[in-house]
Structure 1
Amino acid sequence: MITKYFSAYPDKLYEYIQASYICYMLQMNGFEAVLAGGCVRDMLNNVKFNDIDIATNATPNQVCHSLSIFETKKVGRAFGVVLVRAGGYEYEIATFRKDIGKSDGRHPANVEFCSMEEDAKRRDFTINAVFYDPVNKKHYDFVNGIADIKSHTLRFVGNAKERLEEDYLRALRYVRFRCKGYFVCKDELDIVNNSLSIVKEKISEERIILELKKIFAIGSFSSVYEFIFENGFTYFFPIFFPDVEALKGVEQHHFYHPEGDAYVHTILVWNHLNMKNRSFLCQIAGLFHDTGKAYCSKMENGRIISHGHEKESTKIVKEWMREYKFSNDDIEYVVGIVSNHMKFHQAGMSDATLRKLMDKPFFDDLIYHIEADIACGSNNFDVFNEYKERIEKLKEKQLPDKLFTGKDLIQLGMKPSEKFGTIIKEMFDAQLNGEFNSKEEAIQYFKSNVSKMNKKVLHKI
């Protein structure tokens, strides 16, 4: 197994060799030491692992003593975890443990060090409860995990309800593995569905978002079926994305959206971005870009219209991201995509507006989003392709220096104020649109267009 695996993933070989040496050193000091969790599962699945975790019956103090040639740090004293840096890699080494006492849905009341078998039986899923000894090349499987890995079956260790009550975040982990294509049994699926509402009550927003990021990073088409058809996770969107759920039954103009209602379109857009491995924030924008349609769609002259839905969608996604404690920068990034996505569906955007968008940090993801939006709707790329040609031409031209500045306003008799920024912005837009090409022409243009500009801004001139 090992030779075949590392012929497929040679970049992971030295990380594995270093982990094997750590296990060897612990074993030479009289302890059990094995690889644990996801890395064992991924190697059996012939999937590239992210990192390697090690489990042992050595206590944290004994781990540090046995591995004194390496840099060690106790990072989870309550749970017996030591961080080891060796050979340029980091490994978490955890002492075998079992949970003691009633859980609050996030943490056990207490933990107790235990045997390898007892440690396996407190883990979440059977596929994550298999150990591998890289020194003696031996698997330890106390829960039939290897069979479940080979059959791609997702199953809780022991009683599903008890495992969820220990840590309700496991319900989201279950969603993640199901979206990867693992088979599930209906009884456990029903228990998970019923537990999703408790996740929001018991688990912090930060932990929920970390798990959602992993779900959104899967890149598997199987996820689309879980959220469109009724045999999947029927409570996932109502609980975590209620504004997306509200799009169910919101009809759209068939000419532009032959695929179905706004909910189906949204899930298809999200899945398109997911399959293309777009960023988490880009996928969030994909989920929320049409949420405003649930509140502003109407029938007019026999046609379904949703004018201004992007403005409503912007308010909705901003509120949702604040609830889940995203940073201001992340909120601004997603809002930029959502608020601007309709501009590329209609011809007529000025070069000035296009240039300004091109300078935004979210611009590349905005383009990815538009491609997904069109591909999952009308599939008519004519207008968008024209914009792409213009974008390429504009990339060849550097943004010019401003021909009209605050100094010019002062020389024209204005006193410095917060209004300067708005005026200079309007003048720069005019410059980018080719209205003038020199300082003299800029001043003349300003004088000639004072009456056409925003009177509220210019009332003191």
Structure 2
Amino acid sequence: MENRILKMQSEVFKDKIFQSLLQTIEAQKGVAMLIGGAVIDSIQGSPLKDIDIEVYGLSYTQLVFLVKDLDLPCNLVGKSFGVIKTTIHNIEIDISVPRRENKIGIGHKGFEIELDEKMTPKQAGKRRDLTINSMYQNLHNGQIIDPYNGLKDLKAGIIQATDKDTFIEDPLRVLRIMQLLPRKGKQVAKETMALCQSMINTFTELPKERVFVEWEKLLLKANKPSVGLAFLKDSGWLIHFPELKNLINCPQNPVWHPEGDVWIHTNMVLDNAAKLRPLIPEDWKLAYMFGALLHDVGKPSTTTSDLKAYGHDTAGINISEQFLKRMTDDKKLIEKVTTIVGLHMRPAQLFSSKAKEPAWKRLHNKCRLDILGWQSKADSAGRTGKDVILDAHDASEKCFELFDKFGETRIQPLVLGRDLITLGIQPSEKFKTILEACYEKQLNGYNKEDIIKSIRSN
């Protein structure tokens, strides 16, 4: 075990209330340990995003009173797991006592929880998924407690199960490796890969919400999400995502796609999208990344013997919807992703055909042009020898130029119902037809005055 003193990175740790919390724990003969991903962030000097603290030597009841006595928020929603949720500096902190988890049933709820403040970090760490997540940092003196050699694995980039018997109790751990490997490691230990392969049939135990969270982390946090996809393929878990598995060995015309099959292309596009991700508006980031992942899922069902895939964009709409519905009920997200998939070819098609502005307006009304521009740019560079950052992409630049002109939202109609009433037209079933015709004229470049004149002349 290696002891190291680490500088506390988070402002939370310097807060007077937090220091009072530590002092009170210590005065009552307890020890507060930082656990989980925050320890890795602390070692690597990264900002701490999630703060989980495990307190040894004090019971759950003692901790509850302690937190309340300091006038800190005290949310007991995690009581059955020995967890107290509190907040300092607007950062949520989970404070817990050590626990044992005994598998007694199927699924993530099939565990018997036993709280035991007398456990050692080594005993408590046995239930954790990976060695790198089984490290502790003593918050009183900064020392690293490393009972399972997680620091060695972290330095070597090895993703390794903490304990083979407890690892297989929760199938979610396989998907955690999917999203952690590209972020925290370089390779999965051979024994751990074998464990993952042995757990393929346990996927059905997972609620779709838990599956979605791991995909979300992969797509929003990994710099090279393709590493996670490669893990799914190597572990055999890609079978649970057939829309992606079908991309393997789906051929493409080597003239346009020298990189290889649709699987290889998709991996390249996804990594390109991750490079562009900081430029995407927050409320579109996840949809954009899922769009990159799923943009060509229509190709296996539409690719012909002469390697053409006409209509793959349209075919991909329902396929991508099926993929997403198995892991989320978020209708807005699904709508955004399927829209991106269905329209991802349009910028290049409009640009190559030298389409006039009205056609671009109609496209913008279906999906904001900047999103389609970034998607098209990531897609275009998903080929051998292309650089998504350095290479110019004319169709994308046209999207950005017109987005600046059109704005973020759908182009608003110039002629409204009140304008028709002013012209003496009584509200009726024809109103909708007349307004739609007016809007079409507007998209074609007519101003409001000309549109009104055309109504009067009819």
TM-score bucket of the superposed structures, by smaller chain: 0.7 to 0.9
Task: Quote the offset at 1:355 in angstroms.
Answer: 2.9
Among 141, 154, 163, the alignment partner of 1:158 is: 163
| Cα drift, residue 442 of structure 1 | 2.8
User: Cα 1:48–1:233, aligned 2, differ >3 Å: closer, same or farther?
Assistant: farther
Amino acid at match of 1:152: G
Deviation at 1:82?
0.8
Deviation at 1:3, TM superposition (A): 6.6
Worse-matched range after superposition: 433-442 or 122-131: 433-442
Residue in 1 aligned with 2:372? 366
1:76 Cα deviation from its structure 2 partner? 1.3
Stretches of structure 1 lacking an aligned partner (at least 5 in a row): 7-11, 448-461
Going from structure 1 to structure 2, the CA distance change for 1:350 and 1:423 (only over 3 Å counts) comes to farther
What pairs with 1:316-395 in structure 2 (closer than 5 Å)?
316-347=319-350, 348-358=354-364, 363-377=369-383, 381-394=393-406
Kindly state the Cα deviation for residue 333 of structure 1 after the two structures are TM-superposed: 1.0
| Matched residue, 2:202 | 198
The reply to whether residue 24 of structure 1 matches residue 26 of structure 2 is no
Shift of 1:207: 0.8
SS at match of 2:96: strand
Counterpart amino acid of 2:24?
A: M
Once the two structures are superposed, what CA deviation does each residue of 1:225-265 show, in whole Å capped at 9, x if it has no partner? 5645x99635243312x112212222223333222222221
Structure-2 separation of matches of 1:316 and 1:122: 38
Alignment match of 1:14 (pick from 12, 15, 26): 12
Q: CA deviation digits over 1:415-443, x for unaligned, max 9?
A: 733x7546533431222212564244332
| Residue 359 to residue 105, structure 1, CA distance change in 2 (3 Å) | same
Amino acid at match of 1:365: I
Identify which of 428, 432, 435 aligns with 1:424: 435
Contact 1:270/1:287 (8 A) holds in 2: yes
- The worse-fitting range, judged by mean Cα deviation, of 349-358 and 339-348 is 349-358
CA RMSD of aligned residues (A): 3.2
The answer to whether structure 1 residue 286 and structure 2 residue 292 are counterparts is: yes
Cα 1:314–1:88 shift into 2, 3 Å: closer
1:100 is matched with which residue?
A: 102
1:311 Cα deviation after fit: 1.1
Report the counterpart of residue 238 of structure 1 in structure 2: 239
Aligned to 1:441: 453
Deviation of 1:305 after TM superposition, in Å, equals 2.2
Distance 2:24 2:42 in 1: 22
- The residue type paired with residue 240 of structure 2 is I
Decide whether aligned partners of structure 1 residues 350 and 235 sit closer, same or farther in structure 2, where only a CA change above 3 A counts: farther
119 and 226 in structure 1: CA distance in 2 versus 1, 3 angstrom threshold: closer
Q: Is the 8 A contact 1:101 1:109 kept in 2?
A: yes
Structure of greater relative contact order (alpha carbons < 8 Å, 6+ residues apart) = 2
Compared with structure 1, are the counterparts of its residues 87 and 258 closer, same or farther at alpha carbon in structure 2 (3 Å cutoff)? closer
Structure 1 residue 112 and structure 2 residue 114: aligned?
A: yes
Kindly provide the amino acid, as one letter, of the partner of residue 182 in structure 1. K
Question: How far is 1:394 from its partner?
Answer: 4.4
Are the structure 2 counterparts of residues 135 and 259 from structure 1 closer, same or farther at C-alpha, using a change threshold of 3 Å? same
Equivalent residues of 2:6, 2:42 under 8 A apart? no
Distance 1:244 1:62, change over 3 A: same
- The 5-angstrom pairing of residues 273-312 of structure 1 reads 273-277=273-277, 279-299=285-305, 303-312=306-315
Displacement after TM superposition at 1:119 (Å): 0.8
1:332-367 deviations in Å (ceiling 9; x for gaps): 111221122111112344434423544567543322
Q: Percent identical across equivalent pairs?
A: 23
Q: Of 130, 134, 140, which aligns to 1:135?
A: 140
Residue aligning to 2:74: 72
The normalised TM-score by structure 2 is 0.83
Q: C-alpha distance in 1, partners of 2:395/2:110?
A: 57
SS at match of 1:224: helix
Tell me, in whole angstroms, the C-alpha distance in 2 between the residues paired with 1:139 and 1:377: 44
CA contact 2:108–2:206 (8 Å) conserved in 1: yes
Deviations 1:105-145 (A, max 9, x none): 41353222231332111211111111221213333222222
In structure 2, C-alpha distance between the alignment counterparts of 1:325 and 1:197, rounded to whole Å: 21
Q: Under a length normalisation based on structure 1, what TM-score does the superposition of the two structures give?
A: 0.82
Checking the alignment, whether the CA contact within 8 Å between 1:132 and 1:140 is kept in structure 2 is yes
CA contact (8 A) 1:106 1:167 kept: yes
Residue 239 of structure 2 aligns with an amino acid whose one-letter code is: P
Secondary structure in 2 aligned to 1:403? Answer: coil
Q: 2:365, 2:411 within 8 Å by CA — same for their partners in 1?
A: no
2:187 is paired with a residue of what secondary structure? coil
Rounded Cα–Cα distance in structure 2 between residues aligned with 1:189 and 1:149: 17
The amino acid across from 1:91 in the alignment is: I
The one-letter code sitting in structure 2 at the alignment partner of 1:297 is T
Partner letter of residue 297 of structure 2?
T
Q: 1:177 aligns with which of 180, 183, 194?
A: 180
Distance 2:428 2:130 in 1: 65
Q: 1:3 to 1:172 in 2, by over 3 A?
A: closer
* Map 1:36-75 → 2, pairs under 5 A: 36-57=35-56, 58-67=58-67, 68-69=69-70, 70-75=72-77
Is the CA contact (8 Å cut-off) linking 1:341 and 1:366 kept in structure 2? Answer: yes
For the residue of structure 2 that corresponds to 1:252, the secondary structure is coil
2:389 corresponds to: none
Distance 2:13 2:298 in 1: 48
State the one-letter code of the partner of 2:191: D
Among residues 214, 221, 224, which one is paired with 2:226 in the alignment? 224
Residue 331 of structure 2 aligns with an amino acid whose one-letter code is: N
- The CA distance in 1 between the partners of 2:343 and 2:456, in whole Å, is 33
Contact 1:341 1:369 in 2 (8 A): yes
Tell me, yes or no, if the aligned pair for 1:224 and 1:271 is still in contact at 8 Å: yes
